Amino acid sequence: MRNYNIAIVEDDTIFAAELAEFLSGLGYTVTNYISAQKFLTAVRQKECDLVIVDWSIPDLTGIEVLEYIRKFHPDMPSIMLTARNDRRDVIRGLEAGADDFVSKPVDREILSLRIKAVLRRYHGDVRTRPESVVLGPYLLRPSTSTVYFNDEAIILPKREFDMAMLFFTNPNRLLSRQYLAATLWGKIVDYQSRTIDTHVARLRKNLKLDPASGISLNALYGFGYTLQADAHAMNSAKEPLAMSA
């Protein structure tokens, strides 16, 4: 696999060293930072492929680190480590830019799977995905940017189709507006921008996404969107979907 560079921002040096040893054994190149400031100074010179940041860091909070990354390095994925499990804390972390959460004490196998999923989402290419993706009554064919809904062929503009691929290959996963913007446009969007919302509304209309079909495109106000698929739609998938932990 590609030699990904992972940064760990964690002031617990023993835990960070153990984590680095585990991830190095999986083939990653790992650099530990005992403070947020040391990481932010280093990242100005050389970006990493993924940052794992603890919520509680002495000099800056993990939230502040994520906000910095989202502003200056929008293409850098992140995973937050935290002992917090309150829904409001999770939402706050997601709004700050976290792509995923892993609870402490850390289950190494779960962390490994989450890392692979996040890296795949950021560094994957639509061209490497399955020739077709099936979910419920929908069939997506990347080669022609066409969506088939039952027997109806719906040809979409490329960017709109790429957005559909992101949702249909990550069913029941909450995708942030910033992640969608970074993936589809390669940039961060202002909180007041309606670009993402406009494209989502058009996609929802063009694909006739409705709970009656077992698939709907729902918003979490202020954060992002989820393509909600019921059990019947998930069981209908005939091609392997890009899984997201």
The domain locations on the chain are: 5-123, 126-235
CATH 2.40.50.140 fits 126-235, yes or no: no
| Statement: residue 152 has pLDDT above 60 | yes
Q: What is the mean pLDDT of residues 141-170?
A: 87
Binning pLDDT at 50, 70 and 90, where does residue 22 land? very high
Binning pLDDT at 50, 70 and 90, where does residue 121 land? confident
Mean of the per-residue pLDDT values of the chain:
81
Amino acid occupying residue 128: T
Q: What is the CATH number of domain 5-123?
A: 3.40.50.2300
Binning pLDDT at 50, 70 and 90, where does residue 85 land? low
Binning pLDDT at 50, 70 and 90, where does residue 109 land? confident
| pLDDT number for residue 125 | 44
Q: What is the mean pLDDT of residues 24-49?
A: 90
| Statement: residue 239 has pLDDT above 50 | no
Task: Sheet containing 5-9: give its strands across.
Answer: 29-33, 5-9, 50-54, 78-82, 100-103
| Statement: residue 236 has pLDDT above 60 | no
Residues 157-196: tens digit of each pLDDT: 888 888 999 899 888 888 887 778 777 776 555 545 677 8
| pLDDT number for residue 68 | 84
| pLDDT number for residue 5 | 93
Question: Rounded to whole angstroms, how far apart are CA atoms 44 and 61?
Answer: 19
| Statement: residue 69 has pLDDT above 90 | no
More confident residue, 42 or 181: 42
| pLDDT number for residue 46 | 80
* Pair 139, 212: CB distance under 8 Å: no
Check for a shared fold between 5-123 and 126-235: no
| Statement: residue 12 has pLDDT above 80 | yes
| pLDDT number for residue 196 | 83
| Statement: residue 97 has pLDDT above 80 | no
Q: What is the mean pLDDT of residues 76-84?
A: 85
How far CA 29 is from CA of 73, 89, 110, 228, in Å, comes to 19, 30, 19, 36
Q: Per the structure block, which two tokens stand in for 157? A: 């503009």
| pLDDT number for residue 227 | 92
Q: Per the structure block, which two tokens stand in for 63? A: 């939230």
